Structure 1
């Protein structure tokens, strides 16, 4: 029978009820206005008829796919946010009402230009293309859209224009000897974070949300249920990290926590969750005459990528390790340890200074202590414990 508007005791809103081609419907219109409710009923009936004839793939909109993506745990950052005036903004707002089947590369490129007209290619990629592609991949996994390779914006080649601005910390690789010196100056808990980042290439947000059930130390494999691209992936574990993970696994749950035993706040920021620890290490190293302002959590990811290239690792293997590859075959093996990837990550060097850090004796115990190596001029004398 066709859809009808009904009322329910105790509710002012109208409800839609009925059956369209065998599909039963009973849902609220969210309004008490009869005219508005009738318009919603007509649209709902038309949509269900189209879906029954052409299938859901032909009728799902980008904002519907985005809502499903967020409900399944995806980030709303740059996708659907609210500005200071309370107005919604983001990629999902730009594509509101647009059918997935009608969207193409030119639509995505146009969105980048409209939403971020003065931004550089890296910013448009991060704030427009990445959330769009994450939603698209989620739609593909639900069979609402076809798999597609999207072109991302790139910096123009051959330019001779020098951009005079201070580079952001963490945007470039650093040597592992330099990284070891920096980590030595950190409190153990954030030092554990930085160590894992430099020997997995994971994104900071992936590490901050990592739980015990996702880690297989025997197989030296980490399974991420979802990543920044919206797809699951597997991460090989450097042998250097095995004692660290084995120790942290004893407490279960979220593995990497502050020295107070609290999980780091989840954020898409560039590792801002340990900002205080990073600043503390910089301050101590500066007093010791070893200024290091270029190292940040994302330095680990850039350093892994660069070191693998230097070590002659095949680009496909490198991309698999960093989560850049998203072909259908690689998804089938996200939870299966892959020996070529494990062998590749193990080519990353480990300075002796890193191996000699005191907290390797018992990482879990030391994670609850608030202390670092003392450098000249460092005013802290005593260790604190949780």
Structure 2
């Protein structure tokens, strides 16, 4: 018996009821408009027929796949809403490289390739891979826009001390915390005392970028800074006005503005510490520029951790990175620490020469 539109006594909306190829269905159309309900009934009946003949793969929509990913996936979801609004009920079988490229350009027309990768290609790949795991589509093989290799900027211990000493009183404990825990700006700025245990010397970040909570041991320098506060309830870090930092808009999952909450005070500290340079600004007035940002505190912590421990797996776990490949860049920034292994290479006869000046290799004194 094909689907028919019926009414329930206490519902204003039309209901679809019937049997399609042995499958009993009773679903609401979500509308009281009979003409609209009839269009929905026809579409739904076709989906059920296609599914019964060709399998689920033929009918699953992006909206269904995204919802299932949210309910059962373990990745971040903050960039999904614009994608769900764009693709909506488009069947997964109709979404390929071309459609995703067009979506990236439409949703982020002025954005860099790095931003398009982060906000479009990465979440799309995650959803499609999740759907492929359910056998709703083929495993995606997306080509991403090319972007320049990111340079890891980090501070030496001497530079970090200069920055800490130059911080305003309200900013100092926050900067120390970020440098010695590797916390992202949002994890630190909106940290609550309920997630800090000074006795156990541990902090827990319940909501992280990759969707999984993580805990990090507290360095003695952090404990010393935190113990200076008499408060043990509410926000750990406060503004210069002694109030918690403004929270992100709960209706905007993509709000990543934590760094902007402290950017002005942070840049001022960098200027006081001499961690930057001046360039001509408007009316030739000098303008201070620095490549040290709040996120550099995380890079600094990761670089120091690798220098001290040489343990990429532990660094990945403590820092909350999804893959080991994302952590490898901190090993690449530390090549100078491998100098002993290079110096240990055998010299041999190939290195014999007269009047060798080790301190000045260009002064070798070769004879013709």
Whole-Å Cα distance in 1 between the matches of residues 174 and 182 of structure 2? 12
SS in 1 for 2:181: coil
Whole-Å Cα distance in 2 between the matches of residues 53 and 211 of structure 1? 54
Deviation, structure 1 residue 3? 5.8
Structure 2 residue aligned with 1:179: 160
Count residues in correspondence. 304
Distance change in 2, residues 1:217/1:104 (3 Å): farther
Q: Give me the CA root mean square deviation.
A: 5.1
Which range is displaced more, 3-12 or 216-225?
3-12
1:237 aligns with 2:229: no
Structure 2 residue aligned with 1:294: 291
Is the Cα contact below 8 Å between 1:285 and 1:292 reproduced in 2?
no
1:318 aligns with 2:315: yes
**Structure 2: which 5+ runs fail to align?**
249-254, 279-287, 325-368
1:255 aligns with 2:230: no
When normalised by structure 1's length, the TM-score is 0.56
When normalised by structure 2's length, the TM-score is 0.58
Structure 1 residue aligned with 2:62: 62
Structure 2 residue aligned with 1:307: 304
SS in 2 for 1:236: strand
Is the Cα contact below 8 Å between 1:201 and 1:304 reproduced in 2?
yes
Whole-Å Cα distance in 2 between the matches of residues 221 and 53 of structure 1? 56
1:228 aligns with 2:209: yes
Distance change in 2, residues 1:213/1:285 (3 Å): closer
1:264 aligns with 2:252: no
Larger Rg: 2
Aligned runs of 1:1-386 on 2, under 5 Å?
5-6=5-6, 13-15=13-15, 27=28, 29=30, 31-44=31-44, 60-66=60-66, 78-80=79-81, 90-99=82-91, 112=104, 120-132=112-124, 155=147, 172-217=153-198, 220-229=201-210, 231-240=211-220, 241-244=222-225, 251-258=232-239, 259-266=241-248, 267-269=255-257, 271-282=259-270, 293-311=290-308, 313-325=310-322
Is the Cα contact below 8 Å between 1:200 and 1:235 reproduced in 2?
no
Deviation, structure 1 residue 273? 1.4
Distance change in 2, residues 1:309/1:66 (3 Å): same
**Structure 1: which 5+ runs fail to align?**
81-89, 158-166, 328-386
